[in-house]
A and B are shown apart, each in its own frame.
Chain A
Amino acid sequence: MVALDTEPRAPVRTGTARRRRTPVTWVRGGGLTTLLFFLPLLLSFTLFSWWPIARSLVLSLQQTNFIVTEWVGLENFQRVLADPLLGTAVWNTTVFTLIALLIGFPVPLLLAVFVAELRRTRGLASVLAYLPVVIPPVVAVLLWKTFYRPDDAGLFNTVLGRVGLGPFQWLNSGDMVIPAIVVQATWASFGTAVIIYLAALMTIRTELYESAEIDGAGVVRRFWHVTLPQLRGILLIMLLLQLIGTFQVFTEPYIMTGGGPENRSLTVLLLIYRYAFVSGDYGRATALSLLLALALGVLSAAYLWATRRWSSS
């Protein structure tokens, strides 16, 4: 109870508190305590979020080796755009994203719709689907790397070998490397989407299905005309988030191939990493980061604009 008396009171909006605001009344009114509560947030965000974002803008116009820092204008951007690897990285990342959408978007949705129809085993199914998500990505990638071994000892080559196919080069083949990484990445992350869709499916009002049924709609039409429209909002957001996420893919190609073979799995983030932490060219790396962020921003805005009619119901 002693602590209670020494504490400043929370703001009480009565006539007496309307007096002129001085630092003393501010402290008495609990202003200092409030500020102390904000301190962890303000400190951590200023140092590790707001300041680095602001600094990126400055850094992209500079060249630094920690001793001398000079302004170079747009030179960093010019050097990024002049790099022949930029086209490769953008192309690879786009292909990666498209394949990831092609597999990673419909599979969790259909799975969630089917799992929602299960009754006793629904819990078991969601636990199984979520299992890969709790495995640390690095471990999952390293495990799949052994599955993709190009010799006969690889799991996929063993299985396919039994039906007379292969052996395939998988991660060593320029044409197969991106699809192979996409399959691993989808395996590692589809559980989250399944759980989110399942939660959304459970909130669909049963009356909608009942009235569709009375109108004579079969199972497929109920899915098409009730389930899908009801999930519209979450589907649109998940698609956008997946788009933004896969554009920033790093861990999988970094560990599986390091960008190879012959840069066929080099992604934009891998290129940023190389600029900054292999060549120590921080200005150029920041310039590319900004360009990627700008592209993502434009993409998101265009996406939201294009789908604005669907999302507002």
Chain B
Amino acid sequence: MTTIGTPPAGATTPSRGRARTRALDTERSILSGMDRQVPHVRVAVTIAGVLILLGLVVTCAGPLFWLFKAATSTSTETLSDPFGLWPSGVHWENLTEAWTTIRFGTYLRNTLIICAGTWFFGVLVAMTGGYGIAILKPAYARVVSAAVLATLFIPGVISLVALYLTVIDLPVLNVNLLNTFWGVWLPAAASAFNVLLVSRFLQSIPPTLFDAARIDGAGAVRIFWSLVLPLSRPILGVVSLLTIIGAYKDFLWPLLVLPDPDLQPISVALPRIESSTDLGVFMAALLISVVIPVVLFLAFQRQFLRAAGSAGAIKE
């Protein structure tokens, strides 16, 4: 924790270091650069900063660390001394046992299938729909976009039961999607939020770009494929992240649509097997379920935080 004002320890790259300090000086929040020069302010900010970080480490990373510890300890150790650090060494066998005895691999595979399908259909609907509403703009676009927007304001609870009854007997087709992945993929695709994100993004692109392409003889399909899709990469990333995380986290809907244990994702399977599984093995299963999203998050922090921020921007 270095205090502000001292030049960063960038002796090897002095020019970059100086540029960074200057950028920090022009940017300000409640405290100004001048406040920060005052010694007691500096001390107070440093102490508060250390305390905040310590608090965040204990509350946010601490439970994950404990989970790692419990997943690699025996059940009796965890029960007799929850805070003991590996009294009889690290037990990696919990992880392999979770994989074999509780068929964790099957559940993980199902989760990945659900994520992939939800991502595909979610992106398909959001991109084509957003393109239609924002750029093609036929006469009915306003009605459609109003009807999509309206669903944002209707609480999801209202249609839970009716959606379930619809999925077990699709109108017109008379198909039952119970115990199929379609039953999870398709309803998730009807996300007003994603359509809104994409159409807002496309509306911010100068329309002259599309006019020029049209004059050059490009049709709607070609504009979509070689202009809109490449331009939409940032929003595509946001929508992809939001749908995949959403699918990985979802619990109630897959619980209803996938009663067959062989098709259940980890989120549905874990609570079901909780009481019948050895504590150490169960903690190992929880750990594996956590590792994938946490590693992805640490690898793509910027994208994750930007997706969260843009989700906030649209709420405004």
Q: Number of contact residues on B: which range applies? A: 35 or more
Q: Is the C-beta of A103 less than 8 angstroms from some C-beta in chain B?
A: no
In whole angstroms, how far apart are the Cα atoms of A12 and B217 in the complex? 11
Interface size class of A (residues with CB under 8 A): 35 or more
- Is B251 a contact of A199 with CB atoms below 8 Å? no
Say how far B213's CB is from chain A's closest CB, in angstroms: 9
Q: How far is the CB of B116 from chain A (nearest CB, A)?
A: 17
Contact A289 B316 (CB under 8 A): no
User: Which residue of chain B lies nearest to A59 when distances are taken between CB atoms in the complex?
Assistant: B162
Mark interface residues in B250-268 (1 if CB within 8 Å of A CB, else 0). Answer: 0110001000000000111
Q: Which residues of A contact B39 (CB under 8 A)?
A: none
Contacts of B296 in A (CB 8 A): 134
Q: Which residues of A contact B28 (CB under 8 A)?
A: 206, 209-210
A7, B220: Cβ atoms under 8 Å? yes
Residue of A nearest to B308 (CB): A195
A219 touches B147 (CB 8 A): no
Q: Which of A37, A136, A192 contacts B289 (CB 8 A)?
A: A136
Is A134 a contact partner of B294 (Cβ separation < 8 A)?
yes
A114 contacts which chain B residues (CB < 8 A)?
48, 52
In-complex Cβ contact of A277 among B156, B256, B301 (8 A): B256
- Whether B64 pairs with A131 at a CB distance below 8 angstroms is yes
> Complex formed: what's the CA distance from A82 to B192 in Å?
36
- Give every chain A residue within 8 A of B256 (Cβ-Cβ): 277
Contact between A137 and B48 (Cβ–Cβ < 8 Å)? no
Minimal beta-carbon separation of A165 from chain B (angstroms): 16
Q: Are A272 and B160 in contact (CB under 8 A)?
A: yes
A134 touches B286 (CB 8 A): no
A137 contact from B57, B249, B282, Cβ within 8 A: B249
B30 touches A117 (CB 8 A): yes
Interface residues of B in 24-62 (CB under 8 A from A): 24, 26-32, 35, 45, 48-49, 52-53, 56-57, 59-61
Task: Find residues 171-200 in chain A having any chain B CB closer than 8 Å to their own CB.
Answer: 187, 191-192, 195-196, 198-200
Docked complex Cα distance between A219 and B35 (Å): 10
- Is the CB–CB distance between B309 and A289 below 8 Å? no
Given the interface pairs A33-B219, A128-B60, A130-B297, the reply to whether A244 lies near B155 with Cβ below 8 Å is: yes
What distance in Å separates the Cβ of A218 from its nearest Cβ neighbour in chain B?
A: 10
Q: Which of A255-272 contact B (CB under 8 A)?
A: 255, 269, 272
* Residue B245 at the chain A interface, CB threshold 8 Å: yes
* CB <8 Å contact, B144 and A37: no
The answer to whether A41 and B195 have CB atoms under 8 Å apart is: yes
A199 contacts B312, C-beta separation under 8 Å: yes
Q: Which residues of B contact A250 (CB under 8 A)?
A: 252
The stretch among A42-50, A83-91, A94-102 that forms the contact with chain B is A42-50
With known contacts A129-B56, A135-B294, A251-B251, A34–B144 Cβ distance under 8 A: no
Asked if B99 is at the interface of the complex by the 8 Å CB criterion, the answer is no
Q: Is the CB of B270 within 8 A of A7?
A: no
Any A CB within 8 A of the CB of B298: yes
Bound Cα distance from A40 to B162, whole angstroms: 21
The reply to whether A128 and B155 contact each other, CB–CB distance below 8 Å, is no
Q: Among A48, A139, A146, A254, point to the contact of B290 (Cβ < 8 A).
A: A139
- C-alpha gap A47/B168 in the complex (Å): 12
Contact present for A153 and B32 (CB under 8 Å): no
Distance A55 CA – B248 CA, assembled complex (angstroms): 28
Q: Which of A9, A34, A226, A272 contacts B157 (CB 8 A)?
A: A272
Tell me whether A38 and B144 are in contact in the complex, defined as CB-CB below 8 angstroms, given that A48-B190, A195-B312 are known contacts.
Answer: yes
Please judge, given known A-B contacts A128-B53, A293-B154, whether A48 and B219 are in contact too, CB under 8 Å. Answer: no
Interface pair A121/B316, CB less than 8 Å apart: no
Of the listed residues A241, A273, A289, the one surrounded by the most CB atoms of chain B closer than 10 A to its CB is: A289
User: Any chain B CB within 8 A of the CB of A61?
Assistant: no
Q: Which residues of chain A come closer than 8 Å to B79, judged between CB atoms?
A: 153
A127-161 contacts to B (CB < 8 Å): 127-139, 142-147, 153-155, 158
What are 9 A-B pairs at a CB distance below 8 A? A30-B220, A34-B138, A48-B166, A119-B4, A123-B301, A201-B29, A250-B252, A289-B158, A293-B158
19 more A-B contacts (CB under 8 A) besides A48-B187, A137-B249?
A4-B218, A40-B124, A44-B187, A49-B190, A53-B162, A116-B30, A117-B30, A117-B48, A125-B53, A131-B60, A135-B64, A135-B293, A142-B274, A158-B82, A158-B83, A248-B157, A277-B256, A282-B161, A289-B159
**A-B pairs with lowest CB-CB distance, top 5:** A196-B312, A41-B129, A7-B219, A52-B159, A128-B56
- What is B's interface to A at a CB cutoff of 8 Å? 1-2, 4, 24, 26-32, 35, 45, 48-49, 52-53, 56-57, 59-61, 63-64, 66-67, 70, 78-80, 82-83, 121, 124-125, 128-129, 131-132, 136, 138, 140, 144, 147-148, 151, 154-167, 170-171, 186-187, 189-190, 192, 195, 214, 217-224, 245, 248-249, 251-252, 256, 266-268, 270-271, 274, 279, 282-283, 286, 289-290, 293-294, 296-298, 301, 304-305, 308-309, 311-313, 315-316
Q: Which residues of A contact B (CB under 8 A)?
A: 3-4, 7-10, 12, 30-31, 33-35, 37-42, 44-45, 47-53, 55-56, 59, 111, 113-121, 123-139, 142-147, 153-155, 158, 187, 191-192, 195-196, 198-201, 204, 206, 209-210, 213, 219, 222-223, 226-227, 233-234, 237-238, 241, 244, 248, 250-251, 254-255, 269, 272-273, 276-277, 282, 285-286, 289-290, 292-293, 296-297
